[in-house]
């Protein structure tokens, strides 16, 4: 599908979803306080804290842990610093 001369649909989606201002507001969805930014590396967005790699599919970020690639030194998602930090925060909250 051609939207503009010389610009195919997948290019248009990339422009919409991955422009620089959009990338500056994205945060790692695993981080419990949503403070850790993501950095673009090839066809992935990488968490700057735990190094989880989230894929880009046709320019759209897929920010779901089940689709993410864990770092080499991590055998399971429960070992990620972001996940451990979230568990510690939940345990520290007072019960209602």
Report CA-CA distances (Å) from 64 to 29, 55, 56, 79, 94: 8, 9, 11, 17, 29
- Hey, where are the domains in the chain? 2-92
Report CA-CA distances (Å) from 14 to 7, 11, 40, 68, 96: 11, 5, 13, 19, 45
Q: Which is it for strands 38-41 and 44-47: parallel, antiparallel or unpaired?
A: antiparallel
Rounded average pLDDT over 12-28: 68
d(CA 30, CA 52): 9
Q: Would you state the pLDDT for residue 71?
A: 93
What digits encode the pLDDT tens for the residues 21-64?
Answer: 778 888 988 887 888 899 999 889 999 988 999 999 888 889 99
Q: Is the pLDDT of residue 5 over 50?
A: no
Q: Would you state the pLDDT for residue 10?
A: 47
* Phi, psi angles (nearest 5°) of residue 73: -85, 10
Cβ(45)–Cβ(26) below 8 Å: yes
d(CA 24, CA 21): 5
pTM equals 0.69
Span of 1-10, 47-56, 63-72, 77-86 with lowest mean pLDDT: 1-10
């Amino acid at each position: 599908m051609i939207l503009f001369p010389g610009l195919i649909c997948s290019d248009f989606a990339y422009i919409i979803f991955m422009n620089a201002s959009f990338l500056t507001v994205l945060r790692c969805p695993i981080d419990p306080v949503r403070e850790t930014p993501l950095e673009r590396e090839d066809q992935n967005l990488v968490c700057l804290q735990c190094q989880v790699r989230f894929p880009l599919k046709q320019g759209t970020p897929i920010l779901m842990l089940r689709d993410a690639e864990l770092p080499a030194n991590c055998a399971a998602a429960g070992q990620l610093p972001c996940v451990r930090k979230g568990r510690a925060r939940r345990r520290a909250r007072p019960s209602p």
